[in-house]
Amino acid sequence: MWGIPKMRMTKCVLLPVKMLRRNIRLRREYLYRKSLEGKERSLYEKKRKIREALKEGKPIPTELRNEEAALRREIDLEDENTAVPRTHIDDEYAHAGEQDPKILLTTSRDPSAPLQQFVKELSIVFPNAQRMNRGGQVISEIIESCRAHDYTDVVLVHEHRGVPDGLIVCHLPFGPTAYFGLLNVVTRHEIKDRKAIGTMPEAYPHLILDNFSTKLGERTANILKHLFPVPKPDTKRIVTLSNQSDYISFRHHIYEKHGGPKSIELKEIGPRFELRLYQIKLGTVDQAEAQIEWVIRPYMNTTRKRKFLGN
């Protein structure tokens, strides 16, 4: 009655529905694999007990004697790749090394000029990153669009009264999502001596990860390192992520060899900032119901002697 052809309406509705069905199916498969982890871990512990008993010449534990024959057949068929069960963490970054990361950078709505400048510099820090003006788009629309265009990560930067204070790293298609606080942000634009810092190269950087020794630290380093592609051996650009007392310092340098390999000049090219992890979620940023893997609690702020990411 409004003069809109029925076929055109059908096409406009069906294309998003197909995409949504595919994402729902993939998400369901991922959750199913994740639900099997408990069973696989229990089976792995039973096999481990039998291996130890056979190796040390001890009798098989009483609770495993009824299952001994079936478990020993499975042990004989295993190798070093299949003996240890896979986890959902393996599935999240299973294809990370097959292609370079493709990152979308965006901000909170109505960003200030300092935040726009900081995100502009981040788009050069992260290779293969594309900067997008947020406008009126909601997070769920951005995530769906990035999935459809094969983006590997979405990075959102937030601010408070013109000062960048938060950074969210969301890995696609199914997570995880890490939430960081941003502190002591110094952009290249704020450095007065432009000649000293020079121009920022776009070569893939070498990555230095320092003091991520705990299990949570390794998890955090794994999320951050997959934002950078594999560099060439001769690149002179270096990105350092150094953890001290659970504050991750980001530094960006280039080096030059003026008088041979023993005389190396290190030059900081910016930007610089500190990150403080406060939450990791097993899902994308638009999923409010996603399981929380780790979150900092108010009482943790008083445990000064305890460090969560490293020594």
pLDDT tens column, 198-229: 678 889 999 999 999 998 999 999 999 999 99
User: Which residues does residue 160 pair with via DSSP β-bridges, in sequence order?
Assistant: 163
What the block records as the tokens of 109 is 């709505």
Residue tagged 């009824």 (tokens):
66
pLDDT at 200 (0 to 100): 82
pLDDT at 195 (0 to 100): 66
Least confident of 4-8, 43-47, 240-244: 4-8
Tell whether the model's pLDDT for residue 1 goes beyond 50: no
Q: Which residues contact 55 (CB under 8 A, 6 or more apart)?
A: none
Q: Counting Cβ atoms within 10 Å, is residue 32 exposed (0-12), middle (13-18) or buried (19+)?
A: exposed
How many Å apart are CA 244 and CA 272, to the nearest integer? 15
Q: How many residues does the chain have?
A: 311
Which helix or strand (DSSP H or E) is residue 91 part of?
Answer: helix 88-92
- Encode pLDDT of 294-303 as tens digits: 998 877 665 5
Identify the band that residue 21 occupies on the pLDDT scale cut at 50, 70 and 90: confident
How many Å apart are CA 175 and CA 282, to the nearest integer? 6
For residue 28, report the phi and psi dihedrals to the nearest 5 degrees: -65, -40
SS (H, E, C) 95-137: CCCCCCCCEEEEECCCCCHHHHHHHHHHHHHCCCEEECCCCCC
Average pLDDT over residues 28-51: 75
Q: Which residues contact 241 (CB under 8 A, 6 or more apart)?
A: 207, 208, 209, 210, 221, 224, 248, 249, 250
User: Which residues does residue 156 pair with via DSSP β-bridges, in sequence order?
Assistant: 106, 168
Average pLDDT over residues 177-189: 93
pLDDT at 10 (0 to 100): 35
pLDDT at 262 (0 to 100): 74
Least confident of 174-178, 232-236, 306-310: 306-310
Percentage of the chain modeled with pLDDT above 90? 41
Label the pairing between strands 103-107 and 129-131: parallel
Identify the band that residue 259 occupies on the pLDDT scale cut at 50, 70 and 90: confident
pLDDT at 11 (0 to 100): 36
* Single pTM value for the model: 0.76
Higher-confidence residue of 51 and 278: namely 278
Percentage of the chain modeled with pLDDT above 70? 82
- Encode pLDDT of 71-113 as tens digits: 888 877 777 666 666 665 666 787 777 889 999 999 998 999 9
- Encode pLDDT of 127-166 as tens digits: 999 999 988 899 999 998 998 898 999 999 999 999 999 9
89: left (phi over 0), alpha (psi -120 to 50) or beta: alpha
CA-nearest of 289, 111, 276 to 178 is: 276
pLDDT at 146 (0 to 100): 92
Q: Which residues contact 149 (CB under 8 A, 6 or more apart)?
A: none
